[in-house]
Amino acid sequence: MEVLHSFVCDLCDKKLLHDPAKGHIPLGWKMKEIYLKNLLLCRICSSPGQFNGGPSIRIQDLFEKKFGEKY
Ligand SMILES: [Zn+2]
């Protein structure tokens, strides 16, 4: 029987049900350190295009909304 856990993106709050037996985090999701915080990012937030020479405007905006800190 599958045991699904709810994973939530630390930036955009996207939720995904995932069976940890199939990988400790969902496929395409990544742990990433942004401004000294270790965050779980969904496939969209962790895509290489969002980190082309530093976090994109989108990432910076989401980070500011979530943590109230601007960088
Ligand atoms: Zn996300």
How far is residue 25's CA from residue 18's CA, in Å, rounded to a whole number? Answer: 8
The pLDDT of residue 70 is above 90 = no
Q: How far is the CA of 36 from the centre of ligand 1 (A)?
A: 17
Q: How far is the CA of 2 from the centre of ligand 1 (A)?
A: 24
How far is residue 11's CA from residue 5's CA, in Å, rounded to a whole number? Answer: 18
CA–centroid distance for 34 within its chain: 10
Please count the structural domains in the chain: 1
What does the pLDDT look like over 15-45, one tens digit per residue? 999 999 999 999 999 999 998 999 999 999 9
Our CA angle for 48, 55, 19, nearest 5°, is 55
The residue segments making up the domain with residue 18 are 5-67
Q: How far is the CA of 53 from the centre of ligand 1 (A)?
A: 19
Q: How far is the CA of 1 from the centre of ligand 1 (A)?
A: 28
Model-level pTM? 0.88
